Amino acid sequence: MLKGKTALVTGSTSGIGLGIAKALARQGANIVMNGFGEVDGPRAEVLAAGQAAGIQVAYHAADMSRAADIEDMMKYGADQFGRIDIVVNNAGIQHVASVEDFPVERWDAIIAINLTSAFHTTRLALPAMKAANWGRIINVASVHGLVGSAQKSAYVAAKHGIVGLTKVTALETAPTGVTCNAICPGWVLTPLVQKQVDAKAQQLGVSNEEAKKVLLGEKEPSMQFTTPEELGELAVFFCSPAGNNVRGVAWNMDGGWAAQ
């Protein structure tokens, strides 16, 4: 379905971004990966997912807190494959502390990586998408783009912000073949959340499995983690012809979290 298209997925060396990159690769899109940590293993996974479709995978190490790096990465992606047709703004970090104890440097980093980076990729991708009259911008927000939780001021502010950016981008592209939508997961068991499970296990003196149940029980009525694979399939839907007129939505996959 996406043969000949190119998708750039930020923060795709791990977790949700890797799941989305694999799902888009399976549909035949060439992938520009990005993110920190080990690259070869995740890159091999994405290549394998798209092997039957004969895709290519490139990687750029842009630090998503730096505008100049993002400009380099967007240029690199376009140079490699001709054009970036799909941007998935996924890179993100978390820090948990009360407002008065929140380290200023962590606040700035979260706003830069979880919100401002999407402004940069979007402004840089839109001209070519509009010229081609086709494009998809998918912002990985969070259920925290819709509701708040204590101790997560920067994250909740950034995620509400990216839902706002999604709506404005969708309005500005509404008469074109470019769409912009947000995905709002509840708990997904990635390294970002495992840190919170570990903290809960330590705080309560319980096992890893018990801590997962406590975390889910506080927020997610289904008592199930959403998976990167499920989120990947939602991204595929946004890229499909059936998604042509889905514009500006913040679509939760949260086990009922925001329905409460």
Given the rule CB under 6 A, which residues bind ligand NAD?
A: 11, 13-17, 34-37, 63-65, 90-93, 113-114, 140, 142, 185, 187-188, 190-193
Which CB sits closer to ligand NAD, 10 or 179? 10
- What is the smallest separation between the CB atom of 122 and ligand NAD, expressed in angstroms? 15
What is d(CA 179, CA 166) in angstroms, rounded to the nearest whole number?
A: 9
| Residue among 221, 229, 223, 227 nearest 260 (CA) | 221
Token digits for 192? 């970002």
- What is the smallest separation between the CB atom of 134 and ligand NAD, expressed in angstroms? 25
Give the SS3 label for residue 183.
strand
Contact 145, 114 (CB under 8 A): no
Which CB sits closer to ligand NAD, 45 or 130? 45
What is d(CA 102, CA 40) in angstroms, rounded to the nearest whole number?
A: 35
Which CB sits closer to ligand NAD, 132 or 181? 181
Sheet containing strand 86-89, edge to edge, reads 57-60, 30-34, 6-9, 86-89, 135-140, 178-185, 250-253
CB-neighbour burial class of residue 237 (10 A; exposed 0-12, middle 13-18, buried 19+): middle
- What is the smallest separation between the CB atom of 225 and ligand NAD, expressed in angstroms? 8
Q: Which of 59, 76, 107, 155 is catalytic?
A: 155
What is d(CA 84, CA 120) in angstroms, rounded to the nearest whole number?
A: 14
- What is the smallest separation between the CB atom of 125 and ligand NAD, expressed in angstroms? 16
59 is annotated as an active-site residue: no
**Residues labelled catalytic:** 155
